[in-house]
Chains A and B, each alone.
Chain A
Amino acid sequence: MKVTVELLGGLHQIFTFGAKIVDVNVLEEAELGALVETLCLSLSSSFSNCSPSLADPVYRTSLARFVDCEHLQLTGEYKIIPGIMVLINDVDWELFDEEETVLHPNDVITFTSTLHGG
């Protein structure tokens, strides 16, 4: 199924596809965590050496602007860092189940950085 992702507050700069709005295909009834994983893996696929590890400082630096790398290393879970605010269909994801929120077709997921730039 298709969901739409908006990367605001400068977050689109992390990803190689560069656009602020992208459509992403995820499995039916995927949780938001799976979407985050897909976004992060698209980041890794842009590296020439086919499977960059978290040990690669360049990869890790980019990834760390989006997800908690230490947590990922320990648990294999993709967890959004605290400085990023997430909205699902313009509703604060804290009102749902954050990474465990089940997505529906055509959901609009907005990621925006709350840090930087007064």
Chain B
Amino acid sequence: MTVAPETIRSPEFVPRATRLAQRPVKISALCELCHSRKAAVKRPKNLQKLCQLCFFNVFETEIHQTITNNNLYHRGEKLALGASGGKDSTVLAYVMKTLNDRYDYGLDLVLLSIDEGIVGYRDDSLATVKRNQVQYGLPLEIVSYKDLYNWTMDEIVTCCGIRNSCTYCGVLRRQALDRGALKLGINHVVTGHNADDMAETVLMNILRGDLARLEKSTAIITESAGSPVKRSKPFKFTYQKEIVLYAHFKKLDYFSTECTYAPEAFRGTARELMKQLEKSRSSTVIDIIYSGENLLLQPKRINKQKQFRKVKTIDKKTAENGQNNNKNREMEVLSDGSISLGHDRAKYKDGNKCLKCGYLSSNKICKACVLLQTLEKMKPKITIDNNISTDGAAKVLRSLETLSF
């Protein structure tokens, strides 16, 4: 069977509302709450059928309850809302603004956006955030990688290629919001992480045997001793599907593209597994989060109980040449994913500061600084090797990647 070329074509311009008004009425159930309007949503959480208005109401009220039940914020607090222009953060900004006004939380909200410095990629999403700033009347602060790390993502990609740059991107991005907030004198970052994200992380940690990370991954608010920045996730119990539906029905202005840095393969598999489980058990997502919250590690006994996993560094050359003078050949991966270089591991626990940048770290030198040090070493070689401008390097490399895909 072939498709005739005229089967799919661009429509003559008819406004969306008109198109929707033209179509015949399909029979669907009535809303289970108001019993008067046509249902538009089947909630993944409990399969309840709701009309648009009742859905908005339930969606917002549940988030309000999450915030008040957990005492996430206090009057007068200044919050940095992580803003990427994507759907989660756009809904976050809209809902936080709405609830702050409706229930008079008395919060001082600021949109905080990180500019990784990828020419031609961030432009569109930053433009979205700038429109959100106007639409929601919230102040916007943009902090760049250049400000924070003195490197743009384009420069990093030029230096070490797109594959390796994913490692950098992950580590640097995780810290960027915290560092950005500190720069602005704000010590509470709010992110749009949702229930699906959280269940996925719990599943991954369990499948990897990384139970030490469970506690942190299910916390609705994280506060480490000595850390100046709190993090909270008011969407902890909010399903991804409902966030997308909410943004769609409210016609929120968000930027959507396929993620530039595809998720690591393992996360992708965990996500698929979860989606499959969800098909046969709708409460899967909440169940996984609940399990994650209640799986508690026994308190560690000193030394003996502690498990260390030794991993070889990626430094293959050193290994191949049989050189064993490299002190970093074996690194210890700690439970929080950071790398320990020194031997005084007992001394460097949560609450210590990086000797280089002063940022909270469980090691002498934080992971970001370790990566940046490696980059600095590679830099001189690169400037001789290729003289091309680094502007847009990430984008060009990515386009090349898709071509060869």
Contact = CB atoms under 8 A, between A and B. Distances in A.
Interface of A: 4, 8-10, 13, 17, 19, 21-25, 38-39, 41-42, 45, 58, 61, 81-83, 85, 87-92, 94-96, 104-108, 110, 112-118
B195 to A, nearest CB: 12
A9 B244 contact: yes
* Shortest beta-carbon contacts, A-B, top 3: A117-B86, A82-B275, A118-B88
B20 A90 contact: yes
Given A92-B245, A108-B23, A118-B191, 7 more contacts: A10-B257, A13-B258, A23-B9, A42-B8, A82-B276, A89-B26, A91-B40
Nearest to A58: B405
Contact of A23 (B2, B10, B84, B87): B10
Nearest to A81: B275
A38 B7 contact: yes
A8 B256 contact: yes
Interface in B364-392: none
Interface string B229-264: 000000000001101110011000001111100000
A113 B40 CA distance: 18
B19 interface: yes
A96 B7 CA distance: 25
Residues of B in contact with A, size category: 35 or more
B192 interface: yes
A114 B240 contact: yes
Interface in B81-95: 82, 84, 86-89
Interface string B250-291: 000001111100000000000110011011000000000000
B6 interface: yes
Contacts of B24: 104-106
29 contacts: A4-B11, A9-B256, A21-B11, A22-B8, A22-B11, A23-B11, A24-B7, A25-B7, A38-B8, A39-B8, A45-B2, A82-B272, A82-B275, A85-B241, A89-B26, A90-B20, A90-B249, A91-B26, A91-B39, A92-B41, A95-B41, A95-B42, A104-B23, A114-B243, A114-B244, A115-B271, A117-B88, A118-B86, A118-B193
A90 B2 contact: no
Interface in B1-29: 1-4, 6-11, 16, 19-20, 22-24, 26, 28-29
A31 B258 CA distance: 28
Contact of B6 (A25, A45, A91, A118): A25
B243 to A, nearest CB: 8
A54 B82 CA distance: 41
B49 interface: yes
Given A21-B11, A45-B2, A89 B258 contact: no
Contacts of B28: 91, 95-96
B38 interface: yes
A118 B7 contact: no
A95 B50 CA distance: 10
A106 B9 CA distance: 14
A19 B8 CA distance: 10
B26 A118 contact: no
Contacts of A10: 256-258
B329 to A, nearest CB: 36
B26 A94 contact: no
A107 B23 contact: yes
B96 to A, nearest CB: 15
Most A CB atoms within 10 A — which of B6, B20, B88?
A: B20
Contact of B275 (A21, A83, A95, A96): A83
A53 to B, nearest CB: 14
Given A38-B7, A83-B275, A113 B256 contact: yes
Given A90-B40, A118-B192, A38 B3 contact: yes
Contacts of A25: 4, 6-8
A116 B8 contact: no
Most B CB atoms within 10 A — which of A13, A85, A117, A118?
A: A118
Nearest to B51: A91
A61 B405 contact: yes
A17 B193 CA distance: 33
A115 B2 CA distance: 31
Given A23-B8, A23-B9, A90-B40, A112 B20 contact: no
Contacts of B29: 95
A46 B405 CA distance: 17
B192 A106 contact: no
